[in-house]
Every structure is written in C-alpha cells, then in structure tokens.
Structure 1
Amino acid sequence: MNRFVFTLLAALLLPVSLVYAQDDCNHVTSSLEMLPCSEAEKKSADAQLNLSYKQLMSRLESGYRADPALGAEFAAKVKESQRAWLKLRDANCPLEAFEIETGMPAHVFAVNSCIARMSRERSLYLDKIAPALASDKSASMSPASGACPSEEFAPFLKAFSANSESQRRLTAMTVKSLVLKPVAGKDRSTFEPSTSGVSGATFNYPLMAAITPGKTPGVEIEEVDDSHVNVVDKRAGNSNVKIFNFSRQACWVLEGIEDWSISEKDLVATESPGMSRAENFCYQRAEALGGLGSLEQYRLTAELIEASLENFVCAAESGDAQASLSAASLSLSQMASQLETPKVEALFKAASKIPRGALAYATFFCIGNSTDYNGPCLHPKQAEEQVIRAIKMGSTEAMIYLASTFEAGDLGTKDMSRALACYQMAADKDPQAMEQLKRLGSLGTEPIKASHCI
C-alpha cells in the first residue's frame, strides 16, 4: 500500500518536483515530456562520461611516455576504479527509486535522472585526475613552456581567441564535438545532436574570431562552476550558434565545441521545385531547427525557434504557400519575435493559395496581428470570403468553421439554415459535422441542400 501511495503521489507531483532536478529536465511541465527528456539527459551524461574517461586515458598514455610501465599501472587502476564505480551507480539508482512502482513512468524517470546526475559528477571527478599530465607538447593540452595566458578566464579568453596559434596550443588533444545530424529512417527535416570525441589536431583554426569579454556583441559567457566556462557565440546569427566549452586544467583549455548549425551537405537543394537552392535550404533548416526548438530540451530553445522563423521568412520569399503560412503562424505563436503587420499580412495572403492558409488568413482578418484580441471579428466580410475560398478548395475544417460562425453569428450573420447546410456539406467527411447535423435536426431546423452553405 505504501508503494502504491508513493507512486500515485509521484505521478501527481512530478511536474513540480522536477524543479529540484540537477539535470536539464527542470523545464519539463508535463508528465508526457518527462521520459524522453530523462532519456536524453542520461544519454548525454553517458557520452560525456565516456569522453572524460577517454581523455584521462589519453593523458596517462602521453604523460607517462618516459615510464610506460608506471603509466600502464596507473591506467589499470583507473579501469578497475571505473568498473567498480559503474556497478555502484547501477545498483544505487534503482535504490533511489525503490518506493515508486517498477515500470511506472515516474520510476523510469527517477532512475534515468539518478544515472545522469551520477555520471556528470563522475565526469567532473575524472577530469580532475592528473590534469598536469596534459602538458605534453604533442598533446597540445596546455601552453608550451608553461606559458598560460592567465588563470583568470576573461584575460585567458582574450588571449585564446586572438589568433590561430593560441587556439591550437590551448585546445585539448581530444575535444567533445557536438553536431546536428539527420535522424536515420526519418524525413530529412528531423535532426538531433550527435556527440563524439574528435582530435583537436584535425580542426581548421581559428575556431572563433577575437573576443573581448564584456565588449563583444553576440557573445555570452556562462560560468558553470569554478573549473568550467561556456562561451556562447551568436555572432553568425541564430542559425549558426556555436558553444565553446572550456575547463581549467594545467591551464584553461578548450575541451568541447557545440555546433548548432545544419550543414548544406545534409540538405536537398531541389526538394521544393518552386524554390531556389537557397530557399530550399532555408525551408529545410526552418523545419529542422524549429523541430529541435519545439522539444524545449536544449539550452538554445529560444535561438532555435528564432532561427526557424528567420528561415521560414527566407523560404517564403519564393511565394511558397506552406513556407508563408509557417512563417506567419510562428510569428503569432508568442514563441518567436513578432513580425510587423504588413509583413504578416503579406505572408497570410501568399499562404491563402492552400486551404489551411486561406483559413488562417480569415483568422488574421478577424484578430489582426494580435496574440490576445478577444473582441468581435474586425473584418467579417473579408474573413468569410477566405473561409469560403478554403471550402472551395475542399477544406472540411473550413466547412465546420463556417457552420459554427453562422450558428453563433461570429462573422456578423446568424443564419441557422446556412449553418445546417455547411454541416451537411461536411457530414460525410467528418464525424463531428455529422453530430452537429443531428443536433440541429433535433432542434427542428428544416433540412436544406448543402450547396446553400456558400
């Protein structure tokens, strides 16, 4: 009984308790989101743990070249310790979730969150083992001759970003590299972050333009803790954000690069024949970056949504109806910046070539470029014209919408016979329309031809 009660409480209180999570799932507000978020956190933490372990082993290999036997002994101790720790983690996390019924979403979430938390803590621990061994010149982990620019991060970053040689010298021999990759087996607009370890020697330097902390627009400095700082570089726009991860070792070093752009090699230049190559790329980027932003699982959620809007507007320059509808709708979603009224109207007008676009244009005529308008329809005649246009293109949704407006008088005209006709028109295509048709019939409304709707 205690376990049942605890499970029930966990299910009810979980969205609130997430506020106290140590990982990035504190944004979750719905129990439907908790499992994919916790799975992503566990996967990300495991990837970071594996990378930290590999970096430590690389430090030992390069740092003990003068005494390989001693290095091998050290590495063996690390392997033994890691195996023991993994057993501890995997035994400890089910213990934390013991009072929640096994198999329940709350149980899985609790175990995943525990694994992610412990893995991140272990990564930080491994990063602090033998940092001085990174001074091997061939490893490029710390400056030659011990010439660290500064122990303070701000002057270090200024020196690091000054030129290619500084960046090459102060980059770890193995760098955690995050890039966006298309998801196998899904359409080309579905991307996800992919993390791997990459040799620092393979990068094309410079990795970033010069930065003066506090004085360089488009650059944000995030202090994670005393030994970790992230530099978020937005100077190339929301579609090309890069995050540089630095850690304090023998000196500050670049240990990770997150590239949140989408490479052209992963896009199709001729997916939509009516668009130019550049507009095709814009449309695909808009869908991909918007899809990532809508998950609200990543630190760059706002930037990803803004990038989606910017790319939809770019694609809409072709006059494509769907791109125009997506741009206008996103502008009014309150998730992205709101475009100026003439621009929004032009987008809806272009979108009206398809049924959903015409119906959206009707809504624009009623509420204007507003996200909170509650009054009567501002331009009922123009709105009705667009709804009828959508109906003539075969939109069942528009038939039902027009029927409801005639029934309620929302567009200035209350006409029960036309409402009945519109429901009649949609009845053989939508169960909802059939239910409404039966309801009006029960009220004594006389049957009427569907053609009377428009």
Structure 2
Amino acid sequence: MKRFGLSWILGAFALLPVSAAFAQDECSEITSSLQVVPCSEAAKKTADNQLNTSYHQLMARLESQYLADPKLGEEYSATVKESQRAWIKLRDTNCAVEAFEIEAGKPAYVGVVNNCIASMSQERSAYLDKIAPDGVSGTNASCPSQDFVQFLPAFSAKAESQQRLTALAVKILVLKRTSDPGRFLPEITAEPGASLTFPLMAAIQGRSETVQIETVDDTHMNVVDKRAGNSDIKIFNFAKKSCWALVGIEDWSLSERELIAPARAGMSRAENLCYQRAEGLGGLGFLEQYRLTAELIEASLENYVCAAESGDPEASLSAARLSLSQMAPQLETSKVEALFKAASTTASGALGYATFFCNGNSTDYNGPCLHPEEAEREVIRAVSMGSTDAMDYLGSSFENGQLGTKDLSRALACYQLSAAKNTPQGLDGVKRLVSQGSESIKASHCL
C-alpha cells in the first residue's frame, strides 16, 4: 500500500472508478445479468465485513473473560486464530469446487464464487458469535424492543440504558498513525463494556439522513452516525442476544493526539490539522478497502478546502483536483478557479490552472480549449519552473494545435527540453517528429 500524497493523487484520478459497489436496493431483485457480478461482490464485501467484526468481537470477549487467567486466554485466542485460518482455506477451496464447471474468469464464475463466499462467511459469523457468549445485563423483560428500529431510540435515550445494553466485551476500532508520516490505519482492540464512558452516542429520535441503519443479517445491525460530519463518523455494531446489544464501536475520525505538531509554514494550527486530516482520511478512502470510501474522500476534500484558506499551493491544488476527480462532490466554478489560481505559484499548480482554462469546471469536457491564450500562458510559466509534464504538454499543444498555434519546430524544441531530462514522453516526441516527412524539422524555441 502506498502513502496518499499529492503526486500520487494527481496521477490516480483519471484511473479511478466512480463507484466500486452497487447500492443495496439495486440488488434486492436481480433482473439483469449485468447485476450478477457487482451484486455478488457487494454481498461478499458485506459478509466479509461482518465476519471480520464477529471475529474481533470474539477476541474481545476472550480477552475480557480471561483477565483472571491471561495465559489460558491467550491459548484460547491462539486456538481460535488457528481455526479461523484453516476455515478461510476451507471456504476458498469449497467455493472453487462449487464453481469448477464454469469457465474461470467468466461473470457466472465470479458470481458463484462470490455468493458462495458470502454464504459461508455469514454462517461462520453466526458460529463465532456463539463462542464464549457474554450476554448483557438486560433481560427479555427489560428489553425495549426486539424490533431494532424501535430499540435504537430507547437505547440511545440515556446513559443508563446504553450501559445496561452494552456487551461485557466491546470491539473498538480507532485510526492510528503509522511509521509512514501522514498515513493512518484502523487498529482494533478489546475493551470491557463497563470501562467505557457513557453515553456513547447522542440520543436518536425519528428518522435522519445523518443516521443510517444498516441491516447486516437477522441478528446484526450497524448504525452509521454522521451527525458530526464526514470527518467524525462513528459506526455502532449491534448483535441480537436475549435483546439487542452494542458489541462494537468504530471511530473513523482522526483525533488530535494522532496528528503531529503543525509544520506547514503559513498555516494556522487549525489549518495544519485540516491538512493532515485531508491527507490521512483521503489515504484511507483511496485504498477503497473500507465501507466509508465515499465519506472518507469527501472528508478529505472538506479538509483540503479548510487548509487552502491559508493560500497554501499544495492544499489548494489537491482540493481543486479532488473536486474534479468524480470521487468527491464538485465545488462551484468560482471556488475551483480560486484554488487553481492559489496553486499556480508552483509548476504543478500552473499546469493544473492551464487545464482549468481549457476544460473549465468540467469532468468530461472534450471540446476545443475554452481559453487557449490563458492556458498557454500558464503552461509556459510551468515550463519556466522546470516542469517536464508542462514541457510535454506544450510540445503536444504545438504539435497538434490544441491551443490555437500549430508549430512543429517549437513542438520539437519543447520535446527536446523534456528529453534532456530523460522522460519517456519527451524522448518519444523527439523521435516521432524527427522521423516525420521528407524534410527534417529543425527545432526553434519552446518558450
């Protein structure tokens, strides 16, 4: 896995898909063969997420229940780990057998394997949930409701009800800084339910777009709480025992204690923290491994915009590019132009500003350059700052007339500047133009 950085994000935008998963309602009824693979992938991912949750919740229960005999608890946990590794191998080989008579790689093959994995993972989750059960202090008599929609408001209403209906061992997920600066990864631990600080969630009353209930299966529910914004999302995992019980908390925020001291000159402390959150949350989102991919990328954009209030060119360029990536909400045109203008003090920013002058605030514009004179001015500025990408861009523009002027001699001169720095695009451009026509092209001047 690579660290999420500016150079990587700029190069990756054109290659990333808009979405990797179908919405749940699109898969409630399969009516087209085109739904088979994406819906099976969605089912597999949901089941894998729940299996991961059930496994870590079991580890949390064992740690909590064997505090008096940690050695025995470690032996129990080691046995479970060995069993889980063996089961994963069994699952994968079983599903290969199930799809054996279908040609590998075909949509039908992928669909069968994915659905097989989803089904076996669901069964395994249920099995793990039954190992070392801890129960909750609530009984059937004191259970607010077996209907989760009615249970949730009663659970969240008071600290006392939350404490009473929380499992004895709870899986806790938090984001932790890694040894790679700017990179964060989820870390899962176990906590005794009694040691948590209640209330864990604010009271929930009625329907809200910022509080989403996800049905995993008949005995598992997730509550995605976005009331504090995309930079502070929490997911609460519930399992059905004698009553519904809170068994896991996922905190997808980056706390200040995980961030380094402000380091970017020209930024206030708050803007520095925004920049670090933008890098960290975006890095997690662009891995596309977690259920909150879209929210994490949106949070990254929000934090880049916050950091860009300082006028920092890197933060400004990252915000503008991310807005045009189709992976985050698109900012209004005046805001995008202001961001590119602030970024244009750097070579990459000037080149980005040039593409904005050509394409405007559009993610799919395919016509002639809208403002060729302004675009050429910014590309020339980028070339003067040593950008080989700008040299190649300007060479291509002179070669094909993209900015209104077709001049092969200037194109060759620009490619030669790039080739002198041993870039593949520059070398290819020189070779292509030198080999054209019966009369050799002589380079004049790039700038």
Q: Shorter-chain-normalised TM-score: which range? A: 0.7 to 0.9
State whether structure 2 residue 443 is matched by structure 1 residue 448.
Answer: yes
Amino acid of the structure 2 residue aligned with 1:361:
Y
Change (3 A) 1:406 1:198: same
Deviation per residue, 1:349-378 (Å, 9 max, x gap): 001011111001001001111112111111
Who is 1:48 aligned against? 54
Question: Of 255, 279, 284, which residue of structure 1 is paired with 2:276?
Answer: 284
Instruction: Give SS of 1:453's match.
Output: coil
Q: Which residue of 2 aligns with 1:20?
A: 40
- Are residues 1:194 and 2:187 paired? yes
Evaluate the alpha carbon distance shift between residue 50 and residue 397 of structure 1 in structure 2; reply closer, same or farther with a 3 A threshold: closer
From the superposition, tell whether residues 352 and 50 of structure 1 become closer, same or farther in structure 2 (CA, over 3 Å): closer
Written as runs of structure 1 = structure 2, the 5 A alignment for 1:371-450 is: 371-429=363-421, 430-443=423-436, 444-449=439-444
Quick one: structure 1 residues 56 and 126, their matched pair in 2 at CA, closer, same or farther if it must change by over 3 Å?
A: farther
- Equivalent pair of 1:142/1:148 in contact (CA under 8 Å): no
CA contact (8 A) 1:154 1:213 kept: no
Closer/same/farther in 2, CA of residues 156 and 416 from structure 1, 3 Å limit: same
The structure with the larger Rg is 1
Distance in 1 between residues matched to 2:76 and 2:431, nearest whole Å: 77
1:151 aligns with 2:146: yes
Letter in 2 for 1:156: F
**Distance in structure 2 (CA, Å) of the matches to 1:162 and 1:246:** 16
User: Is residue 165 of structure 2 the alignment partner of residue 170 of structure 1?
Assistant: yes
Change (3 A) 1:229 1:387: same
Tell me which residue corresponds to 1:124.
126
Q: How does 1:17-96 map to 2 (within 5 A)?
A: 19-21=39-41, 24-25=44-45, 45=51, 48-52=54-58, 55=61, 90-91=89-90, 93-94=92-93, 96=95
- Shift of the 175–423 alpha-carbon distance from structure 1 to 2, 3 Å rule, reads same
SS of equivalent residue, structure 2 residue 392: helix
CA distance in structure 2 between the partners assigned to 1:22 and 1:368 by the alignment: 35
Higher helix share: 1
Pair 1:272 & 2:264 matched: yes
Distance in 1, Cα, partners of 2:440 & 2:251: 62
> Deviations along 1:221-268, whole A, 9 cap, x unmatched?
112222111111000000001111111111111111111101111111
Q: Tell me the residue number matched to 1:326.
A: 318
SS across alignment from 1:448 = coil
Q: Which amino acid aligns with 1:453?
A: C
Give the aligned CA root-mean-square deviation in angstroms: 3.8
What letter matches 1:121 in structure 2? E
> Identity of counterpart residues, as a percentage?
56
- What displacement does 1:122 show? 2.6
**CA positional deviation for 1:291:** 1.3
TM-score by length of 1: 0.77
Conserved? CA contact 2:58–2:132, under 8 Å: no
Amino acid at match of 1:263: S
Q: Distance in 2 between matches of 1:80 and 1:358?
A: 58
Mapped contact 1:269–1:278 kept (Cα < 8 A): no
1-structure distance, mates of 2:174, 2:218: 26
Equivalent residue pairs, number: 398
Other-structure match for 2:335: 343
1:142–1:251 CA contact under 8 A, matched in 2: no
The change in CA–CA distance for 1:82 and 1:24 in structure 2 (over 3 A counts) is closer
Q: Is the 8 A contact 1:53 1:126 kept in 2?
A: no
**SS of the counterpart of 1:121?**
helix
Gaps of 5+ in 1: 1-14, 27-37, 63-71, 135-140
- Contact 1:238/1:306 (<8 A) preserved: yes
The match for 2:8 is none
TM-score by length of 2: 0.78
The separation in 2 between residues aligned to 1:336 and 1:325, in whole angstroms, is 15
Structure 1 counterpart SS, 2:336: helix
